[in-house]
């Protein structure tokens, strides 16, 4: 009677090759994690820095002009000039705010977002990344104008007094509308990104 040799067949192990979509999602996730860490560090520095700058500004204005009575730039007793403090904290706030917006709008998609898309997974990732980048730029423009516009008004008020007319002649009451140039050029850049995104969406569809 022939003897049969009993052998235990172990399942063959095959190396899992990551798909292009998986590699793309992994790179996106690692990039997002770096942005989150950078935002946490900068947000903490912003909080500490704002407290320090505000304290130094209060001490300086108190020593220079006495107790606070009103905001002013003439240097009279009780006049506290907020321009330098506002510029420092405002621009710093803008930088940290843009970082936060990028983390918010350019974060990796969830599986639910990918499954709901009828396109192939890699194309869906590219499309979501493109749209998130556009949303980030639009939100950054809005935030930028909300911060830059008051700073512009403060600078013009300090240089030329209360607003009377649009002009660049540096006369009392003349406010130069450079904020419109800044906002307009920035808006044109964002509009160009929107057009490019729209064209890419049409081509991919």
pLDDT in tens, 1-39: 454 444 555 554 444 555 666 777 788 889 999 999 999
Q: What's residue 115's pLDDT? A: 52
More reliable by pLDDT, 175 or 110: 175
Q: What's residue 53's pLDDT? A: 96
Q: What angle do CA 156, 159, 164 make, to 5 degrees?
A: 60
Instruction: Tell me whether residue 145 is in a domain.
Output: yes
Instruction: Tell me whether residue 13 is in a domain.
Output: no
Instruction: Tell me whether residue 90 is in a domain.
Output: yes
pTM, 2 dp: 0.80
Is 8 strand, coil or helix?
coil
Instruction: Tell me whether residue 44 is in a domain.
Output: yes
Is 175 strand, coil or helix?
strand
**Which range marks the domain in which residue 69 is found?**
24-204
Distance CA 105, CA 172 (A): 43
Q: Domain count for the chain, please give it.
A: 1
Instruction: Tell me whether residue 2 is in a domain.
Output: no
- Helices marked H in 66-120: 83-105, 111-115
Instruction: Tell me whether residue 177 is in a domain.
Output: yes
Task: Find the mean pLDDT for residues 76-87.
Answer: 91
Q: Give me the helix-helix angle, 178-204 and 121-160, nearest 10°.
A: 170
77 pLDDT more than 60: yes
Distance CA 161, CA 142 (A): 27
pLDDT for 38-68, tens place per residue? 999 999 999 999 999 999 999 999 999 899 9
Distance CA 115, CA 13 (A): 29
Instruction: Tell me whether residue 16 is in a domain.
Output: no
pLDDT for 110-147, tens place per residue? 755 555 444 566 777 888 889 999 999 999 999 999 99
Instruction: Tell me whether residue 74 is in a domain.
Output: yes
Distance CA 33, CA 188 (A): 31
């Amino acid at each position: 009677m022939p003897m049969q040799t009993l052998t235990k067949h172990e399942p063959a192990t095959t190396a899992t090759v990551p798909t292009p979509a998986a590699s793309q999602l992994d790179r996106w996730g690692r990039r997002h994690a770096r942005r989150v860490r950078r935002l946490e560090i900068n947000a903490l520095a912003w909080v500490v820095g704002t407290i320090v700058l505000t304290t130094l500004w209060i001490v300086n204005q108190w020593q220079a002009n006495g107790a606070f009575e009103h905001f002013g730039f003439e240097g009279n007793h009780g006049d506290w000039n907020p321009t330098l403090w506002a510029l420092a904290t405002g621009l710093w706030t803008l930088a940290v705010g843009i970082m936060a917006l990028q983390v918010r709008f350019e974060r990796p998609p969830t599986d639910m977002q990918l499954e709901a898309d009828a396109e192939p997974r890699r194309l869906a990732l590219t499309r979501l990344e493109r749209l998130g980048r556009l949303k980030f730029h639009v939100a950054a423009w809005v935030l930028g104008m909300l911060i830059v516009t008051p700073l512009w008004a403060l600078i013009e008020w300090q240089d030329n007094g209360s607003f009377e007319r649009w002009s660049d002649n540096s006369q009392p009451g003349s406010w130069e509308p450079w904020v419109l140039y800044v906002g307009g050029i920035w808006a044109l850049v964002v509009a160009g990104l929107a057009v490019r995104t729209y064209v890419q969406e049409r081509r991919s569809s």
